[in-house]
Structure 1
Amino acid sequence: MSFQDIQNTFMAHIRQSASQPAPKGIEERRMAIYRDLFFNNIEGFITSGFPVLRTLYSNDDWNILVRRFFVEHDCVSPYFLDIAGEFVNYLSHGYVKTATDPVFMIELAHYEWVELDVSICQQDDNEILINTALAVTPLYFSQTARNLSYQFAVQQISVDHQPVTPSSQPNYFVVYRDFDDEVHFLTTNPMTALLLSLIEASPAISFDQLCHQVIQHAPQFSYEQVSIGAEQTLQAMANKGVIVTKNQA
C-alpha cells in the first residue's frame, strides 16, 4: 500500500470510523486520540463561529449536526479560517434539514459567518475615501462591505425568540469594516439596498447614471426625489467607507 493510500484510509476512518477500517498497524488507542482530535477541532471552530446558532441546539443535536458536516462535506479550502464558510456552504447546498433544525438556520448561519468574512477579507489597495462631490465621483462598493437581505430578522434571533415564519418584508443589512478594522452591522431599508446593489453591479457608476437606474426600478419617484435621497444616503455610506472611489493613477 502506498503512502497516499495509507493517508486516504486514515482519513476515511477518521471521518467514518463505524464503516471505514483503520489503517493496519496503528494502535486503536492512538486512532481514538486522532478521531477525537480531528472532530473536536472542527466542532470548536464551528461553535466559535456560530455562537447564536449553537445555543439553539442541545449538545447531542449539535454534535450530530457537526458530525454530518464532518462526514459528508468535502472542504475546498485547507485553511482553518475557511471552515465557517465551508459550513455555511454545506448547510446551503448539501444538507437535508431535520426536525431539530430551525427554519431560519441557513440565514442565521450566513449572518453569523459574514462577520468573519468581512473581518478577514482582502482590502483593495486602490480604494480610497470619497472626498469630492458625489456628482463627479466614480462610485464603487467597498470590497470590505456586504449588502445583505434576509427573510428573517436574524439580528433578533435568540433562545427566547425563534420565529417560525419569515418577516412580512425582507430585512436589509450592510456589514462593513471600519478604518480601525472593526466590523459593524447596519440595518438599512429597501432603497438603500437598491442603491448599493446597483453600485456593486456597476463599478465606477456615476451618480447621474445611478439615479436613472433607480428610477427604472422605482418609477413612482421623480429624478429630483431620487437624487436628493440618494445623495443623503450615499454620503452617509461614504463616511463609513461602504461606498468608495478608486485611485485612477
Structure 2
Amino acid sequence: MNFIDSQQAFMAHIRDPKLHPKPDGIEDRRMAIYRDLFFNNISGFISSGFPVLKTLYSDEDWSKLVRRFFAEHDCQSPYFLDIAGEFIAYLSNDYELQPSDPIFMLELAHYEWIELDVSITQTDPQECAITDQLTEAALYLSSTARNLSYQFAVQHISVDFQPQHPSEQPHYFVVYRDTHDDVQFLATNAMTALLLSIIDSTPSIQLPALIAQVAQHAPQFTPEQLFQGATATLSAMAELGVIVTKNHA
C-alpha cells in the first residue's frame, strides 16, 4: 500500500470506523485517540453552531446525526468556520429525515446558521450607503444582508414549542449586519420580502423599474400606493444598511 492509499485508509477509518477497519500495523489505542479527536472537534463545532436544534435530540440521537455528517459528507472547505455551512449543505442535499428528526429540522438549522454566515461575510468594498434621493439610486441588497422566508415559526421553536405542521403563511425575515458589525434579525412581511427579492435578483435596479415589477405581483394596488409603500419600506431598509448602492469609480 502506497502513502496515498494509507492516508485514505486512515481517514476512512477515522470517519466511519464501523464500516472501515483500521489500517494494519497501527495500535487501536493510538487510533482511538485520532478517532475521538477528529469526531469531538466536529461535534463541538456543530453543537455550538446549532444550540436550539441540539436541545431537541437525546444525546444518543444527536451523536448519531453528527456521526452521519462526519462519515458521509465530503467538505468542500478546509476552514473550521465553514463547518456549520457544510452541515447545512449536507442536510439540504444528501440527508434523509430520520424518525428522531423534527419536521422543521432543515429550516431551524438554516435559521441558526444564518447568523454565523452574515457575521463572517466580507463586505463588498464598492457598497455605500444611499445618501441621494432613493428614486435616483441604483439599488442592491447588501452583501451582509439576507432576505429569508420559512414555513415554520423558527424564531419560536424550543423544547416546549415544536410545530408539527407548516404555518398557514410564511414567516419573513431580514438578517443583516449593522454599523457596529452586530447581526440583527428583523421580522418583515410579504411585500418587503418581494421588494428585496427583486432587488437581489436584479442588481442596480432603480425604483421605477422595481415598482413596475412589483405591480405585476400586486395588481390590486395603484401605482401611487405602490410608490408610497415602496418608498417608505426601502427608506427604512436603506437606513439599516439592508439595501445599498455602489460606487463604481
For the residues of structure 2 that align with 1:175 and 1:105, how far apart are their CA atoms? 19
Q: CA deviation at 1:142?
A: 0.4
Q: CA deviation at 1:103?
A: 0.3
For the residues of structure 1 that align with 2:9 and 2:173, how far apart are their CA atoms? 45
Equivalent pairs: percent with the same residue?
Answer: 66
Q: Which amino acid aligns with 1:21?
A: P
Q: CA deviation at 1:16?
A: 1.5
Q: Which amino acid aligns with 1:182?
A: D
Matches within 5 A, 1:1-249: 1-249=1-249
The runs of 5 or more residues in structure 2 that have no matched partner are none
For the residues of structure 2 that align with 1:22 and 1:118, how far apart are their CA atoms? 40
| Deviation sequence 1:42-82 (CA, Å, 0-9, x none) | 10000000000000001001001111111111111111111
| Deviation sequence 1:94-126 (CA, Å, 0-9, x none) | 111111110000000001010010001111000
For the residues of structure 2 that align with 1:169 and 1:17, how far apart are their CA atoms? 45
Q: Which amino acid aligns with 1:71?
A: A
Q: CA deviation at 1:89?
A: 1.0
Q: Which amino acid aligns with 2:181?
A: D
For the residues of structure 2 that align with 1:7 and 1:85, how far apart are their CA atoms? 26
Matched position secondary structure for 1:18 = coil
Matched position secondary structure for 2:48 = helix
For the residues of structure 2 that align with 1:18 and 1:66, how far apart are their CA atoms? 15
For the residues of structure 1 that align with 2:22 and 2:66, how far apart are their CA atoms? 22
Q: CA deviation at 1:25?
A: 2.1
Give the aligned CA root-mean-square deviation in angstroms.
Answer: 0.8
**Could you state the TM-score of these two structures normalised by the residue count of structure 1?**
0.98
For the residues of structure 1 that align with 2:175 and 2:4, how far apart are their CA atoms? 43
For the residues of structure 1 that align with 2:88 and 2:140, how far apart are their CA atoms? 27
| Equivalent residues, number | 249
Q: CA deviation at 1:24?
A: 2.2
| Deviation sequence 1:184-230 (CA, Å, 0-9, x none) | 11000000000000001111101111111110111111110001001
For the residues of structure 1 that align with 2:66 and 2:248, how far apart are their CA atoms? 47
Matched position secondary structure for 1:123 = coil
For the residues of structure 1 that align with 2:16 and 2:168, how far apart are their CA atoms? 43
| Runs of 4 or more above 2 Å deviation | none
For the residues of structure 1 that align with 2:226 and 2:116, how far apart are their CA atoms? 34
The runs of 5 or more residues in structure 1 that have no matched partner are none
Q: CA deviation at 1:19?
A: 2.5
Matched position secondary structure for 1:210 = helix
**Could you state the TM-score of these two structures normalised by the residue count of structure 2?**
0.98
For the residues of structure 2 that align with 1:130 and 1:214, how far apart are their CA atoms? 21
